[in-house]
């Protein structure tokens, strides 16, 4: 119950921030629309499929989750900077209450972002005459859950370790990595070489790959990629919780 009350406060803080509305509501729709226009301008002879809606939608879905990480680190770093956490340490809340109080509203925000992205993707697909499988889209939401926790874990970690001036900069690095090395804006599988090896050694490629395979109906392949992300998520969240407890001196 204590964690729910704290989560409610944090959720209100998130929705009061205009950035939450811009990136959770506007960003997926704008990016999908722009990339769809670009894709329609590419000649069919070029064989470019990266920006087709079936490939673009899951990539944008994962990319949008990186901004939830940014909101997480801003919220936690802000609470630390304003000594808010120190003031409420006098309450009977346990460390698990604090951690869940941050994670719960962020998970809600993640699902909200995913739903908005998929809804916009479906509308654009219908408008352009493309077809998307709704069951496959729903399955992609399931496979994206480990990615949600991983990015939230990064946000919790950065927000705990760094102040509100430094934390966003580090989050921006992860956002850039997820976009470029995750294969959202370039086809990693056709590049090969050392760069492809680096991409596949990081979790961002597997986040995007899992979502795209789910969109394409390859459920077994998607679950395999999602399993790799799950391992990363467990490690990142565990480290973030340990650091949070140590930093906050629970």
**pLDDT tens sequence across 67-99:** 889 888 888 888 777 766 666 666 667 777 778
Per-residue model confidence (pLDDT) at position 91:
63
Q: Are 174 and 232 in contact (CB under 8 A)?
A: no
Taking phi over 0 as left and psi of -120 to 50 as alpha, with beta for the rest, 217 belongs to left
pLDDT at residue 227 in the model: 95
> Which residue bears the tokens 């906050």?
248
How open is the CA angle 205-57-206, to the nearest 5 degrees? Answer: 15
C-alpha–C-alpha distance, residues 102 and 7, integer Å: 6
Structural Rg of the chain based on CA atoms:
19
Cα gap 250→248, rounded to integer Å: 6
CA distance 226 to 110: 16
| 3-class DSSP assignment, residue 132 | coil
Nearest partner of 91 among 81, 101, 82, judged by Cα: 101
Distance CA(79)–CA(200), nearest Å, equals: 35
The overall longest dimension of the chain from CA atoms, in Å, is 66
Q: Which among 104, 109, 149, 101 is positioned nearest to 248, based on CA atoms?
A: 101
Weakly modelled stretches of the chain, pLDDT under 50: none
pLDDT at 46: 59
Inter-residue contact 14 to 75 (CB < 8 Å): yes
Instruction: Give burial (CB, 10 Å; 0-12/13-18/19+) of 142.
Output: middle
Q: Is 244 exposed, middle or buried (0-12, 13-18, 19+ CB in 10 A)?
A: buried
The Cα–Cα gap between 187 and 48 comes to: 10
Cβ proximity of 144 and 36 under 8 Å: no
Q: Residue 1, CB half-sphere, CA atoms under 13 Å: how many?
A: 1
Under the phi-then-psi rule, with left for phi > 0, alpha for psi from -120 to 50, and beta for the rest, what region is 183? left
């Amino acid at each position: 119950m204590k964690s729910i009350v704290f989560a409610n406060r944090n959720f209100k803080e998130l929705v009061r921030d205009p950035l939450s509305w811009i990136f959770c509501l506007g960003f997926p729709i704008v990016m999908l629309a722009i990339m769809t226009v670009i894709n329609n301008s590419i000649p069919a002879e070029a064989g470019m499929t990266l920006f087709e809606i079936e490939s673009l939608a899951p990539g944008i879905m994962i990319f949008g989750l990186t901004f939830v990480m940014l909101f997480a680190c801003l919220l936690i770093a802000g609470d630390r900077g304003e000594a808010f956490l120190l003031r409420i340490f006098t309450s009977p809340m346990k460390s698990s209450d604090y951690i869940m109080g941050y994670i719960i509203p962020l998970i809600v925000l993640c699902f909200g972002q995913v739903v908005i992205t998929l809804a916009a993707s479906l509308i654009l697909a219908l408008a352009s005459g493309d077809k998307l499988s709704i069951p496959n889209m729903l399955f992609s939401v399931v496979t994206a859950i480990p990615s949600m926790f991983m990015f939230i874990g990064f946000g919790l970690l950065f927000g705990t370790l760094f102040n509100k001036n430094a934390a966003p900069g580090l989050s921006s690095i992860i956002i850039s990595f997820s976009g470029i090395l995750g294969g959202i804006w370039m086809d990693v599988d056709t590049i090969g070489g050392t760069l492809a090896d680096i991409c596949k050694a990081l979790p961002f490629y597997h986040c995007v790959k899992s979502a795209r395979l789910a969109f394409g109906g390859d459920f077994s392949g998607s679950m395999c990629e999602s399993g790799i992300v799950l391992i990363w998520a467990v490690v990142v969240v565990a480290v973030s919780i340990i650091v949070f407890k140590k930093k906050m001196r629970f």
